[in-house]
Amino acid sequence: MSSVPASSAPTSRPLTRNDYKTLSLSALGGALEFYDFIIFVFFATVVGKLFFPADMPEWLRLMQTFGIFAAGYLARPLGGIVMAHFGDLLGRKKMFTLSIFMMAVPTLIMGLLPTYAQIGLWAPILLLLMRVIQGAAIGGEVPGAWVFVSEHVPSRHIGYACGTLTSGLTAGILLGSLVATAINSLYTPEQVSDYAWRIPFLLGGVFGLFSVYLRRWLHETPIFAEMQQRKTLAAELPLRAVLRDHRGAIVLSMLLTWLLSAGIVVVILMTPTVLQTVYHFSPTVALQANSLAIVTLSLGCIASGALADRFGAGRVLVTGCLLLLATSWTLYHSLASHPDWLFPLYTLTGLFVGVVGVVPYVMVKAFPPVVRFSGLSFSYNVAYAVFGGLTPLVVSLLMKESPMGPAYYVAVICVMGMLVGGYLWKRGR
């Protein structure tokens, strides 16, 4: 197996205007694509009522609606593996552009779909099909974006590049939350149910197609172009080489994906519901605090990536996970007696969830360029499908025993993150 230098440009050069253009276009596209993927969950209740029989029990309708949402997660590994395979053989840019196109079109179609009242059983079937295509697209987008930006910048700026890209993805969650809030503020519940629920999907589709156009201005990564020129592309199925030769990198990447998925799912996606049900905050206050936490999460991703470039991923992981453990434990433990601490504590906890900005830096460096896309995509998507799916279930079971359930779970993954960080630190990474 042949390898190439980490970048065809000198590793010591500063970031250029072209690098910043690549980073900004990639992060913008990632934000819009992640918005398209998660906007469904903000309108799950309305969509459930419109796309399933009216006489269906509420619990069954919600279960089927969230089942369709989950189908997007289950489609991620397959989509990611297939797109990564061609990304390692045909080019990063082609797959990077295809993934956002595959996300934009189904989102646009979802905004135009007839309801159950109009076409019966075909309505949920078409909705499920669109969701599966979305899942396949996001499975290729996230690993593809990390590989794309890391192969464009000098090696000493890979952490900053990956952290910036990750902050773009988290900004997509914030955008979805803000659009959902705006729609529910501007329209009555009847108007939302009648037609306004379609607006966020149509917006997402249009923005996504605009991103496809913007990505035309991006260039193939220097590393892939060099491998193509030297004819050192994978001579066999890239995934086969990954599974045979890079098992240690797979385990490392899967453990870090667990840290990333748990941090986002528990602290950012589940906590607003916990704030309302356990600590009795109003939905408005919970959403405002959550929005602040997402803003600081985005900043934390950039900061942790930049710090990894300077001090190494190991030190940043150990420190960041320790701080996340302390702030998250304080957040869930003190809110019952000090509700006025919500905003500062949640904001600080969101900042330290930003330690996940280090994760792609480690994963990109764990695999050689010739199989990098396939290795990263397989590890990330399989682990995310497992941990992303099981985390809400485990946290819900823990909360049956104690309201501190989310804190226990975050504490476990923080300890795991510190152990992995210590391992990397010891190896000078």
Whose tokens are 């929005």? That residue is 291
Q: Quick check: 163 and 303 in contact, CB under 8 A? A: yes
pLDDT at 295: 94
What is the pTM assigned to this prediction? Answer: 0.84
The per-residue pLDDT for range 352-381, each reduced to its tens digit, is 999 999 999 999 999 988 888 888 989 998
Q: Quick check: 313 and 421 in contact, CB under 8 A? A: yes
pLDDT at 99: 84
Low-confidence ranges of the chain (pLDDT < 50): 1-10
Q: What is the dihedral of CA 207, 213, 217, 218, to 10 degrees?
A: 70
Q: Quick check: 261 and 142 in contact, CB under 8 A? A: no
pLDDT at 12: 61
Residues in the chain: 429
Nearest to 199 by CA among 71, 111, 328: 111
CATH 1.20.1250.20 in the chain, residue ranges: 16-233, 236-429
Nearest to 103 by CA among 221, 201, 216, 220: 201
Residue 67: both structure tokens together: 């089942």
Residue 227: how many other CB atoms lie within 10 Å: 20
pLDDT at 233: 60
pLDDT at 234: 56
Q: What do you get for the CA distance between the two ends of the chain, in Å?
A: 23
pLDDT at 62: 63
For residue 390, give Cα distances in angstroms to 13, 42, 107, 384.
43, 20, 26, 9
CATH homologous superfamily, domain 16-233: MFS general substrate transporter like domains (1.20.1250.20)
Residue 369: both structure tokens together: 């360029």
pLDDT at 6: 39
Q: Which CATH class is domain 236-429?
A: mainly alpha
DSSP secondary structure code for residue 120 in this structure:
T
Strands (E), 285-326: none
